[in-house]
Amino acid sequence: MNTGSAIVVSAFMVAAIYAWRWFTGGEGKPAAQLNARSLLGQGPLVSPEGFLVAWGTIFLMISILAGFSEALAGSLAISILVGDILANAVSVSKSTTGVVARESKPQPGKGKVKK
């Protein structure tokens, strides 16, 4: 995998993890301000605008760095992806379990056949 692909794949995967957490409910209401803890997936989620600005800046800097050292930029992109997966694994697991529990709960009136 070349450096450009590593950066793009890392950016899309980080965005996919955030989107999954955002659309499955996350934890509570969005954070009032942007801080490192909320960006790393701990506590309430940062707003989508804050996510785009923060991670867009990070991946822009990595892309600029790729012009000077492709190996370093590719390594940073993969390191960010691995760190994001590790930081958000528990939250993604909880939200996925919540979605499965909501969908598998029997709903009154559904599935009954009247004769």
pTM of the prediction?
0.72
Return d(Cα 81, Cα 55) in angstroms, integer: 12
Mean pLDDT, the chain, as a whole number?
81
- For residue 28, pLDDT over 80 is answered with no
How many other C-beta atoms lie within 10 A of the C-beta of residue 70?
Answer: 15
Contact call for residues 18 and 51 (beta carbons, < 8 A): yes
Give residue 65's pLDDT: 95
CA count, 13 A, side-chain hemisphere, 101: 7
Residue 113 maps to a domain? no
Residue 108, domain member (yes or no): no
Give a yes or no: residue 115 inside a domain: no
Rounded Cα gap, residues 11 and 101, in angstroms:
30
Mean pLDDT, range 42-48, rounded to an integer:
75
**Domain that includes residue 60, residue range:** 3-103
Query: Which structure tokens are listed for 44?
Result: 């309430």
Do 45 and 31 form a contact (C-beta atoms < 8 A)?
yes
**Residue 73's pLDDT is what?**
94
